[in-house]
Amino acid sequence: MINFQQLVLASHNAGKLKELQAMLGVSVQLRSIGEFSQVEPEETGLSFVENAILKARNAARISGLPALADDSGLAVDYLGGAPGIYSARYADGKGDAANNAKLLDALKDVPDDQRGAQFVCVLALVRHADDPLPILCEGLWHGSILHAASGEHGFGYDPLFWVPERSCSSADLAPLEKNQLSHRARAMALLRQRLGLA
């Protein structure tokens, strides 16, 4: 068991901070990297794993605290896994609405049976910037891409992601329910086990 009272989250995304803190529970305080720096590291990795480790090391270096990074995104089967690691920047950094519009356009005439997709989350935890043994946990959430947005909750691609086990979009789910089903929840459950919090 590894004991952390505080972890710095390598993200400026307030939605992600809130979601991950809820999943971690009260025994570990999650702090935003935004408290220490506004500079985002360049994500030069070619996989979710590489980028998660890169972000965790950077956050640990800047904050002096153990760091947790999440690299996540949407991998659409028909698009060969795109937008993948470029999910947040799919529409050249113009935000969620633009990303969703671009994805719908890319899948314009694609039939339902070819619209399979999965949300992917890789969590990387490092005790310090040069930790030779980062803890890595992966979560996958399988679904498909809708033809139009649905739902009011969540962020990112949630309004377009159909959740077959609930027959609704990810954005139709209440936050508490999403936090039990999502790719992030699955990765976090593994991390909680590794940290002896489960």
Query: For residue 129, is it within any domain?
Result: yes
Q: What is residue 3's predicted lDDT score, i.e. its pLDDT?
A: 63
d(CA 166, CA 182) in angstroms, rounded, equals 12
For residue 147, say whether it is annotated as part of any ligand binding site: no
Nearest to 69 by CA among 11, 133, 132, 139: 11
Tens-digit pLDDT profile for residues 27-67: 889 999 999 998 888 888 999 999 999 999 999 999 999 99
For residue 156, say whether it is annotated as part of any ligand binding site: yes
Query: For residue 1, is it within any domain?
Result: no
The CATH number that applies at residue 150 is 3.90.950.10
Provide the domain count of the chain.
1
For residue 11, say whether it is annotated as part of any ligand binding site: yes
Tell me the residue range of the domain where 185 lies.
6-194
Q: What average pLDDT values come out for the chain (198 residues) when binned by 10 residues?
A: 80 85 86 90 91 96 96 97 96 95 97 97 97 97 97 93 97 91 94 84
In this prediction the pTM is: 0.90
To the query of whether residue 105 is one of the catalytic residues in this protein, the response is: no
Q: Are 124 and 136 in contact (CB under 8 A)?
A: yes
The residue annotated as part of the active site, out of 71, 77, 92, 172, is 71
